[in-house]
Amino acid sequence: MATPGAEEDVLARYRSPLVSRYASAEMGFNFSERKKFGTWRRLWLYLAQAEKSLGLPITDEQIREMEANLDNIDFKMAAEEEKKLRHDVMAHVHTFAHCCPKAAAIIHLGATSCYVGDNTDLIVLRDGFNLLLPKLARVISRLADFAEKYADLPTLGFTHYQPAQLTTVGKRCCLWIQDLCMDLQNLERARDDLRFRGVKGTTGTQASFLQLFEGDHSKVEELDRLVTAKAGFKRAYMVTGQTYSRKVDIEVLSVLASLGASVHKICTDIRLLANLKEIEEPFEKDQIGSSAMPYKRNPMRSERCCSLARHLMTLVLDPLQTASVQWFERTLDDSANRFV
């Protein structure tokens, strides 16, 4: 079978089903290349604006040129530059400079690659939490309505999956709600604990910025504060190496994995109750339950949730290993796996 190139057929290349099948449009965009590299350009703009306000020789014309090209990204040129330079950040510096020739000399001034890379990751994590939290709150609200509606409807309780004392449908649902409320609280805490990496230089000492500002520590501290605020964060991490601590990724994945465990438990209960004909998932007019047995009403939504939850729960092992093997201020073996 012929394998046409991506130019001929985008379906001839692997696409992650996490995006093509399961992600919302908003979450898909949040982790997209357009969001990522558009954020890089905004971070370069924030840096230039802050440096200008603190006295570096940056002109209004250069700032306006950058502002006018934040989303004017030539992805083909960037890919060609990266292939040549073997450096993704410098490839996009050159691509941005190509459409901002007057600002070329001040793009990325004093910064290291992690200024755009790590700060963008923190923005994406924050924005991802902000997309997820309202959805989880709606699930809890709808389950609360269901629990109240069926608060007095008796049903057989199970321990060890053996018949036990009676409970009610609403009471059982409250078990699910309680777990999800704990997840909501943990997710909010993890989001609120996120800080900005900020303007820390190559090894976290801000040496390159101290050189730009001729040793003026107060200006460098103000630069960090200004850029942090422009990015929408109230605080930056006080101490970093070249990167923010990879312990942050452990915290984020841990609360997400915990949510995955709750979802798996709830949907497993629903699958078992479906077999007992106590609860059924919605079945749409033209839906087919099985290719061989179209009359079947499989709990496909709950099965999908369990499948994705199992995948989610395993992801926390990756940042645990990454954080444990970071050498001194940073090693690059935290890159490819974090992209995935």
Number of domains in the chain: 1
**Among the listed residues 257, 35, 240, the one whose alpha carbon sits nearest the alpha carbon of residue 126:** 35
Residue 8 pLDDT: 61
Whether 63 is in a domain gets the answer no
Mean pLDDT value of segment 90-109: 98
pLDDT recorded at residue 95: 98
Look at residues 38, 40, 41, 66 and name the one whose alpha carbon lies nearest to residue 52.
Answer: 66
Choose, from 24, 290, 307, 324, the residue flagged as catalytic.
290
The CATH number covering residue 139 comes to: 1.20.200.10
Instruction: For residue 44, tell me if it sits in a domain.
Output: no
82 in a structural domain = no
What distance in Å separates the CA atoms of residue 221 and residue 240, rounded to the nearest whole number?
Answer: 14
Give the model confidence (pLDDT) of 158-188 as tens digits: 999 999 999 999 999 999 999 999 999 999 9
More confident residue, 157 or 281: 157
- Over residues 325-338, the pLDDT tens digits come to 999 998 888 888 88
Catalytic residue at 290?
Answer: yes
pLDDT exceeds cutoff 80 at 277: yes
Q: Which of 206, 203, 208 is nearest to 225 (CA)?
A: 206
150 within domain boundaries: yes
**Is 323 within 8 Å of 246 (Cβ atoms)?**
yes
**Are residues 100 and 107 in contact, defined by beta-carbon separation less than 8 angstroms?**
yes
Q: What average pLDDT score do residues 257-280 get?
A: 96
Asked whether residue 2 carries a pLDDT value surpassing 60, the answer given is no
- Could you tell me which of 25, 188, 204 has the C-alpha nearest to residue 118? 204
CA dist 115 and 228 (Å) reads: 11
> Span 262-276, mean pLDDT?
97
Alpha-carbon span 119 to 249, nearest angstrom: 13
The domain containing residue 190 runs over which residues? 14-31+111-281+294-340
> Taking 70 as the threshold, does the pLDDT of residue 5 lie above it?
no
* Backbone phi and psi for residue 233, each to the nearest 5 degrees, phi listed first: -105, 145
Average pLDDT over residues 102-120: 97
